[in-house]
Amino acid sequence: MISRSIYNEMARFTGMNRFTAAEAKEMERLIRENFNPKYNVCVKCPQQIKHGQRLLQNFLNQVEVYDEPVLEEQPLFDFEPVEVSVDIEEAKKVGCTKCGRKKRTTKK
């Protein structure tokens, strides 16, 4: 049995037409970790890459897939909502605290 994320990663490699060297090595790593620890691939040989794709496809047809449990994200800190009591009339009278302007400006 393999997880859904590994299955999706393997399935992505089975449908690819062009491979970079890094992608071929990643396919080799997946094959080695899951079912054939002695598999090697030449990143320049298209026939070896196709053979690796065939190996992956055959493996995916036979393997069972399980879904990972979804973990609920828990907050790091539990904050309670803070209620601030502000007198709106007094706040209007104060004006701007940055420039010291006493009168509040409003756009028309």
pLDDT digits (tens, 9 = 90+) for 4-42: 999 999 999 999 999 999 999 999 999 999 999 999 999
pLDDT, tens only, 44-53:
899 999 999 9
pLDDT at 89: 67
Burial of residue 87 (number of CB atoms within 10 Å: 0-12, 13-18, 19+): exposed
Residue among 75, 80, 25, 76 nearest 49 (CA):
25
Does any domain span residue 86? no
Does any domain span residue 21? yes
pLDDT, tens only, 53-106:
999 999 999 998 888 776 777 777 777 777 777 666 666 666 666 666 666 555
Number of domains in the chain: 1
pLDDT at 78: 73
Euclidean distance between CA atoms 54 and 29, whole angstroms = 15
pTM higher than 0.95 = no
Does any domain span residue 23? yes
DSSP secondary structure of 22-57: HHHHHHHHHHHHHT-TT----TT-HHHHHHHHHHHH
Tokens at 19, concatenated: 């491979």
Does any domain span residue 11? yes
Does any domain span residue 108? no
Does any domain span residue 26? yes
Does any domain span residue 25? yes
For the chain, give the mean pLDDT.
82
Does any domain span residue 71? no
Burial of residue 17 (number of CB atoms within 10 Å: 0-12, 13-18, 19+): exposed
Q: Domain span at residue 26?
A: 2-66
